[in-house]
Amino acid sequence: MREKTAKFFGKHSKMSAVAGLAAAFFIAGLAASVTLEVHAGASGEAAPAYSGSTQELPALTSPFTALAEKCTPSVVNVRITKVEKTGLGEMQVPFGRFRDFFDNPRFFEQFPRDRTVQGAGSGVIISRDGYILTNNHVVEGARELSATLADKREFNAQIIGKDPKTDIAIIKIDAGENLPAATIGDSDRIKVGDWVLAIGNPFGLSQTVTSGIVSAKGRVIGSGPYDDFIQTDASINPGNSGGPLLNMKGEVIGINTAIVPDGQGIGFAIPINTAKPLIPQLEKSGEVTRGYLGVNIQSITADLSKALGLEEKKGALVADVVPGGPADRAGIRSGDVIVAFDGKPVSDSHDLPAIVAGTKIGARVPVAIVRDGKEIEVSAVIAKQEPDGTRLARNAPPARGKWGLELQDITPDMARQLGLAENQGAAVSGVRPGSPADRASIQPGDVIMEVNRRAVKSAQDLKAKMAAAGDRDHLLLLVKNSHGSRYVVLKG
């Protein structure tokens, strides 16, 4: 045993020496920074007084402590009750030949019943008279609604206004007294890496405070046309929705809204600057009125930039213009690239919808476009945005040919749904899997309106124009369906 021990310490003598020095320095550091109390020895003689420093370790205080104390009173716990239609649910199933019939889920769907569902979220008080900002998805469909303050008092609440497109809602409570309203900040001023605080009601745990940083700005997560989220790694969970994201001044710079279910430390908040112009409209009329230009746009990829002969890959490509709409009256055409709107630069198609939506109805604004390589300016009068249109049914028969397209003339029904004349475009009746058309996401039911910037009148006309392209390795198509129009590049 002694031999083994000696070998161990001999082998690790250098490590032991380093560890010993580290320990010595650690102990010395403690001795120099804390006050020591020395007791009398066994003989009763007083030990010599310690002559080192008597400075005590400073107290460690988080910068979030005061921030949490300041901001939590303005955060509320939102509770809802709503009724959903469901099947018959659990019931005793009869024996014998009826069992298979009752085991069929479609049987239960034929007899829907009401089911009461409880939900919870968060909100932030934005005015002393009880207006509360939250998410639309928190209060959507609520039959009963309440808000609980930080001091545990609960009040019935009413929905004042909702905007599903941005997922913003305003509710109100009557507390009979002035309430602690949050300070609204400026989300445009935050930077990636800034510290932030999230307060909310995750999983029913009210007044939960978490911290993190701004991980990214301008995130597009596919929730709607006005995606512009702040990404944060502050812990956000179900129930945090509608609660505030705060900067280190205690100002609301976002409304916590979404998470990545399979991710950790990936949460998203609506920038408060998105909500600011909507709040007065929601409080006054309960809904949001947006500007409308009447174009269908798309982002410019490297392939589209090359096919269109653009010098820079920026702007919003106009794929379609609504007949008689503001853009049509202004002279904007399919294939134009909008690079500025009302003096504001348009770097990508994502920029334009929010700028147009925030423009006053009836305002005449300048629109800078690039057409055939030249920048020109037109003037458009903004109209009021209306609801979306209809959808188109689709089939998928087999397709052949170099590009993988099966074509036919458009039917009267398709023309009526898409607002086309019967001699406009060629309908896609089939797409070969793995073909250039399939890789470009063309689907049966789409209508091809142009090929290489030339209008298409029929299926035969399109085939002739495609044949005239010869052995070109790509085609530029304008494709229209019930969702709108877009340019695509087929690569051979």
Catalytic residues: 137, 167, 241
Q: Is 218 helix (H, G, I), strand (E, B) or coil?
A: strand
- Could you tell me the sign of the dihedral formed by the alpha carbons of 138, 75, 244, 124, in that order? positive
- The structure tokens 């239609």 sit at 85
Residue 386 CA to its chain's centroid (Å): 23
- The structure tokens 């939960």 sit at 208
How many other β-carbons are positioned within 10 Å of the β-carbon of residue 286? 13
Residue 134 CA to its chain's centroid (Å): 15
At CA 281, angle to CA 355 and CA 236, rounded to 5? Answer: 75
**DSSP code at position 46:** P
Core vs surface per residue 440-467: b (16+ CB within 10 A) or e? bebbbbbbbbbbeeeebebbebbbebbe
Q: Helix 13-33 and helix 2-11: axis angle, to 10°?
A: 70
Separation of alpha carbons 47 and 28, rounded Å:
20
- The structure tokens 């030990």 sit at 47
Which of 491, 387, 391, 392 has the alpha carbon at shortest distance from 439?
Answer: 491
Q: Is 134 helix (H, G, I), strand (E, B) or coil?
A: strand
Separation of alpha carbons 38 and 40, rounded Å:
7
Structure tokens at 407: 């074509």
Structure tokens at 188: 């445009």
Burial of 64 by CB count in 10 Å (0-12 exposed, 13-18 middle, 19+ buried)? middle
